[in-house]
């Protein structure tokens, strides 16, 4: 981001948050935290293939033994099964829980590095009719390779669970930082929004729609750059889809009204995200769920008085029900968003290469499996690795 006044205020807010965190641990309200590295020692010597976009700077190379990613037509990603088992890792503690299972911090017994292990219960996935979404999540994560998206290293399954080995992103959720700060100054919100914009641009270039953009699904890495996680609703959509899914406050009106949709829904959610970062709340929220739906469909967008004129203009063009006017959904795609005056000082190439200083660096001990940015959860007796019993769901999750 660049210019002096904005940059100073970004660093000031970062310092203030850092100071406050020395007194109080950041709250954590969501799961899906992910991890960092490979399992076997032999993989440590390998170099990554050329990624589809500009690679990350200042990071260790990430081996990828599965060959290049193929996209378009029938979307194909890396093979993710057969490389790891539970015996390759030590399970340390729970990072998050949910209705499908939980996420653990784990450590490789081969290279000593920390990862996140996402564990989902097959029976629950089937009961809640989430088989397609779960398989889509694995596929999407096996395809993507971008500085601002979480990385998945491999998958496996036993008779009762499926497992995904992910990057461990130790800085916690953007959601927690936002609640701690109440709302972000304009340049801080702009920094995070710009990184999200680049991630969406990349996903859309592969005809992948994300469909669940919100602060809870944006993690901060050790340097304070974003990593979008939780691809449970992500889907390869080269044309249109109709599925009603997402998180209520961020769902686009075309989804609520069950109309066909595509990438447009991510740009609506992008606008809601910017609004929430600047205001501290979402524009259509109501404690009554049905009223929230009604607001999304019918209410006029209103702004707090302190919103700058250029961000009002941007949000009016993102949070619009008219798909023929929504930025990101027009002929020039993401370029219309990136060229908007609110983003005028962003140097996009430098941002993509992570050569712009972040407004906030999480107060963590890097590379030590630091979990200070995550809530504590009650630990349960682990019953993973079950073999030799009937598994009626194995064929539903063949790719795992």
What are the backbone angles phi and psi of residue 317, rounded to the nearest 5°?
Answer: -95, -10
Nearest to 117 by CA among 125, 106, 133: 106
Annotated binding residue 121: no
Nearest to 239 by CA among 72, 353, 77: 72
What are the backbone angles phi and psi of residue 227, rounded to the nearest 5°?
Answer: -140, 115
Alpha carbon distance 73, 269 (integer Å) = 26
3-state secondary structure of 149: strand
Nearest to 82 by CA among 399, 385, 386: 399
Give the H/E segment covering residue 96: strand 89-97
Residues 6+ apart with CB under 8 A from 267: 200, 318, 326, 327, 328, 329, 337
CA angle centred on 157, ends 66 and 110, rounded to 5°: 60
CB distance 278 to 307 below 8 Å? yes
- The residue written with tokens 């989804």 in the block is 255
CB distance 66 to 81 below 8 Å? no
For the question of residue 212 being annotated catalytic, the response is: yes
Indicate which residue of 6, 37, 167, 212 is catalytic: 212
- The residue written with tokens 């993973």 in the block is 384
Alpha carbon distance 229, 209 (integer Å) = 13
Q: What is the dihedral of CA 253, 258, 264, 269, to 10 degrees?
A: 50
Task: Please give the annotated binding residues, written as ranges.
Answer: 127
Active site residues: 212
Per the annotation, binding residues for ATP are 127
């Amino acid at each position: 981001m660049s210019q002096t006044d904005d940059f100073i205020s970004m660093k000031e807010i970062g310092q203030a948050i850092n100071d406050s965190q020395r007194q109080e641990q950041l709250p954590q309200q969501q799961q899906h935290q992910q991890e960092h590295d490979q399992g076997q020692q032999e993989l440590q010597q390998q170099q990554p293939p050329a990624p589809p976009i500009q690679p990350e700077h200042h990071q260790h190379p990430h081996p990828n033994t599965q060959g290049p990613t193929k996209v378009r037509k029938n979307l194909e990603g890396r093979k993710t099964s057969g490389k790891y088992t539970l015996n390759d890792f030590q399970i340390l503690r729970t990072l998050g829980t949910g209705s499908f299972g939980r996420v653990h911090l784990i450590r490789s017994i081969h290279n000593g590095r920390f990862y996140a292990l996402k564990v989902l219960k097959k029976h629950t996935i089937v009961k809640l009719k989430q088989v397609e979404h779960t398989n889509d999540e694995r596929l999407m994560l096996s395809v993507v390779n971008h500085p601002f998206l979480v990385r998945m290293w491999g998958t496996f399954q036993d008779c009762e669970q499926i497992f995904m080995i992910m990057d461990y992103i130790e800085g916690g959720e953007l959601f927690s930082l936002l609640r701690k700060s109440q709302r972000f100054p304009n340049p801080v919100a702009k920094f995070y929004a710009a990184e999200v914009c680049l991630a969406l641009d990349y996903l859309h270039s592969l005809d992948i729609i994300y469909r669940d953009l919100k602060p809870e699904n944006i993690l901060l890495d050790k340097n304070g750059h974003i990593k979008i996680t939780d691809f449970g609703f992500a889907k390869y959509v080269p044309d249109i889809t109709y599925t009603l899914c997402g998180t209520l406050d961020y769902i686009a009106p075309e989804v609520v009204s069950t109309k066909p949709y595509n990438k447009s829904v991510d740009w609506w959610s992008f606008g809601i995200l910017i609004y929430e970062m600047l205001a501290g709340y979402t524009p259509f929220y109501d404690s009554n769920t049905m009223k929230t739906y009604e607001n999304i469909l019918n209410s006029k967008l209103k702004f707090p008085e302190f919103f700058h004129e250029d961000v009002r203009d941007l949000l009016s063009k993102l949070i619009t029900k008219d798909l023929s006017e929504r930025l990101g959904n027009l002929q020039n795609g993401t370029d219309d968003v990136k060229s908007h005056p609110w983003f005028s000082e962003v140097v996009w190439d430098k941002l993509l290469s992570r050569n712009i200083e972040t407004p906030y660096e999480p107060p963590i001990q890097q590379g030590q499996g630091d979990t200070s940015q995550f809530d504590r959860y009650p630990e349960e007796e682990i019953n993973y690795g079950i073999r030799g019993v009937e598994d009626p769901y194995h064929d539903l999750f063949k790719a795992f």
